[in-house]
Homo-oligomer: A and B are copies of this chain.
């Protein structure tokens, strides 16, 4: 038995998320179905670095699985791609040490969020960006991003009812860049709570649009109370961009 690490991309539009659900099509299910076919009916379970929600995309999701197949990794990638539907791409497959773990081995992740600022709605981008044709003060948003960067208890910035786990996370960097009429948010951190990136984006858009001051963001963060938080930005602008391992 060998352990394999694979990097995958997916268009989240037609999935109810990464993780297998009783109802609805998931990324995990489609890849396990592909592995089942490659293994002639033997079940092969995959472990992902973490979940993504309905409509959220991935450019660099990482999974691992164990397989007895004696085929070289490059051919493994191609074979797995052959059995996988068109909204998932297998970017690479490599053999790794038996103690590699896609979820517990992560030391950080990058998420990106794309906002399209064009006056008119672009039908070609509707599943891949948030259309936001309103005024935004980018420098004020960067000030608020600085407040959020670092080690904090992010209780105010995760979905209500997401359990009693420790809510302290470290954001290494938040970058906001403009590429023509698109605003790209990059969040790098040691881990992110449920809906945290989408709530951070909602907060930063509220700051840019004069609905929230930087001081209020600081107060919300210190309040450790989700009810203080901003709106959750919609899923289609969000991408799990990269997962880091040691």
A123 touches B87 (CB 8 A): yes
One of B9, B86, B124 near A57 (C-beta < 8 A): B124
On chain B, the residues within 8 Å of A126 by CB distance are: 11, 86-87
One of B87, B89, B91, B124 near A128 (C-beta < 8 A): B124
Q: Does A120 contact B (CB under 8 A)?
A: yes
Q: Does A187 contact B (CB under 8 A)?
A: no
How distant is the Cα of A9 from the Cα of B121 in the complex, in angstroms? 10
Q: Does A122 contact B (CB under 8 A)?
A: yes
Q: How large is the interface on A (under 10, 10 to 19, 20 to 34, 35 or more residues)?
A: 10 to 19
A11 touches B124 (CB 8 A): yes
Question: Which B residue's beta carbon lies closest to that of A85?
Answer: B123
On chain B, the residues within 8 Å of A11 by CB distance are: 123-124, 126
B123 touches A81 (CB 8 A): no
A88 touches B9 (CB 8 A): no
Q: Does A10 contact B (CB under 8 A)?
A: yes
A121 touches B91 (CB 8 A): no
On chain B, the residues within 8 Å of A124 by CB distance are: 9, 11, 57, 128
Distance (whole angstroms) from the CB of A9 to the closest CB of chain B:
6
Which residues in window 79-111 of A have CB below 8 A to B? 81, 86-89, 91
How distant is the Cα of A10 from the Cα of B121 in the complex, in angstroms? 11
A81 touches B121 (CB 8 A): yes
How distant is the Cα of A11 from the Cα of B123 in the complex, in angstroms? 6
Which residues in window 106-162 of A have CB below 8 A to B? 120-124, 126, 128
On chain B, the residues within 8 Å of A86 by CB distance are: 121, 123, 126
On chain B, the residues within 8 Å of A123 by CB distance are: 9-11, 86-89
How distant is the Cα of A86 from the Cα of B86 in the complex, in angstroms? 23
Question: Which B residue's beta carbon lies closest to that of A91?
Answer: B120
How distant is the Cα of A1 from the Cα of B18 in the complex, in angstroms? 54
How distant is the Cα of A57 from the Cα of B9 in the complex, in angstroms? 24
How distant is the Cα of A122 from the Cα of B89 in the complex, in angstroms? 7
Q: Would you list 19 pairs from A and B whose C-beta atoms are within 8 A, ordered by A residue?
A: A9-B122, A9-B124, A11-B123, A11-B124, A11-B126, A57-B124, A81-B120, A81-B121, A86-B121, A86-B123, A86-B126, A87-B123, A87-B126, A89-B120, A89-B121, A89-B122, A89-B123, A91-B120, A124-B128
User: What are the 5 closest A-B residue pairs judged by CB atoms, nearest first?
Assistant: A11-B123, A89-B123, A87-B123, A86-B126, A11-B124
